[in-house]
Amino acid sequence: MLSKETFEIEDTYFAPFFVKQKISIEKGDGVYVWDEEGRRYLDFTAGWGVTCIGHANPVITDALVDQGRKIIQNPNSGLTYSPARARLLSLLAGILPLHLTRVFFTNSGAETNDAAIKLARKVTGRPEIVSTYQSFHGRTISTASATGQAKNRDRYRPLMPNYRFVPYNDLDALESSLDESVAAVILEPIQGEGGIRIPSDDYLKGVSELCKKNGSLLIMDEIQTGFFRTGPAFITGSCGVNADFLTMAKGIAGGFPFGAFAMSEEVAEKLEIGDHGGTYCGNPLGCAVSYAVIKYLIDNNISKKVEEMGRLALNRMQQWESAYGDAVAEVRGKGLLIMIEFQNEEIATKIKDECLARGLLVTQTQGIGIRIFPALNIKKGELEEGLHIIEDAIGSVVNRSS
């Protein structure tokens, strides 16, 4: 099947939720993918942040095959024990913040956040959830209602009630919003889809303290930042934040649909049999893949590698602010989660298209930016290749407009 036929079939039968790039990807290897005609592209999107150890990594395919030959789904699902699940729980216990001792597995980030919100209300007996403007927490009706972006929320009215919003990185605004009706605050330690918004050094700990003072729970959404994306396993564990829930997905299984939330023993003690569940809830196949991916990340010291590659990228990219000031407004990020904000959306779109024409896949974010989040095991030469393409694309757009 050639790309043209693939385009025709998908355009005819696939749900119309995306404006697609005219590119049909057939296979991948590491940070590279190939279309049906055999053209190679460098992938700086990691499948929206999930292929954290690259495409077609043998670590994942071996885990799929080995576990698939044993059992994929337990009889009675979560009502029976699973050695694959037990191995994953044990591994996670070594990288999660110490006080987050209980874990439940899900199928996606949105489902994970939805569960944490539901359980926070149950535990506290309170109805209100506080979120932040520009946040993104998922596409279920509950998590869309918790998302602080009108474009991702208002088209679905009537929304779920009992959500309120405050500016990100503003402790005074949060404190003013907290009262005895607030069950929880849901917060990304770095806003991802909202434009890689990095808070001040005291913000996250300040949020934690305000929640504790008000008797509200804190849900830390690390779906995009978790599993070494910014360097540490989780930002929550590296900055002294006392979260009650930590939600995870994306990098947890390297591209296999999987998610999880961790909670404190104090929260778990207030939950009862039947408060939550799910058909898959840590099926052996997903657990085996997740275990293999996380063990690879730990064994290969990906935390250190991400910090090194992140510094290399940011040092080079931040020079573009002065070299191409008519196009580049700001470069910001942490580890391998980076945003190039341009002067306007037209420039960002042109540069994204130029990157694709040069064989680089990037993600346009919030209209005016390009988000860079490649596989965490990317090699220095591969990273430099992609940065060179982006800089060439920026230069080309700037030269044409001058």
Find, among 35, 28, 25, the residue nearest to 57 by Cα: 28
SS3 state at 398? helix
Going by the DSSP 8-state scheme, the letter that residue 254 receives in this structure is B
SS3 state at 263? strand
Assess whether 136 carries a catalytic annotation.
Answer: yes
CA distance 99 to 144: 29
CA distance 361 to 345: 18
SS3 state at 364? strand
Q: Which of 44, 136, 245, 261 is catalytic?
A: 136
> How many Å separate Cα 295 from the centre of its chain?
19
Query: What are the residue ranges of helices labelled H in 318-379?
Result: 320-323, 345-357
Inter-residue contact 255 to 60 (CB < 8 Å): yes
Assess whether 170 carries a catalytic annotation.
Answer: no
Going by the DSSP 8-state scheme, the letter that residue 33 receives in this structure is E
Rounded to a whole number of angstroms, the CA Rg of the chain reads 21
Q: Which of 43, 114, 221, 244 is catalytic?
A: 221
Longest CA–CA separation in the chain, Å: 66
Find, among 262, 261, 268, the residue nearest to 113 by Cα: 261
Q: Which of 250, 305, 334, 352 is catalytic?
A: 250
Query: What are the residue ranges of helices labelled H in 78-234?
Result: 83-93, 109-124, 141-145, 171-177, 203-214
Assess whether 221 carries a catalytic annotation.
Answer: yes
Annotated catalytic sites, by residue?
136, 221, 250
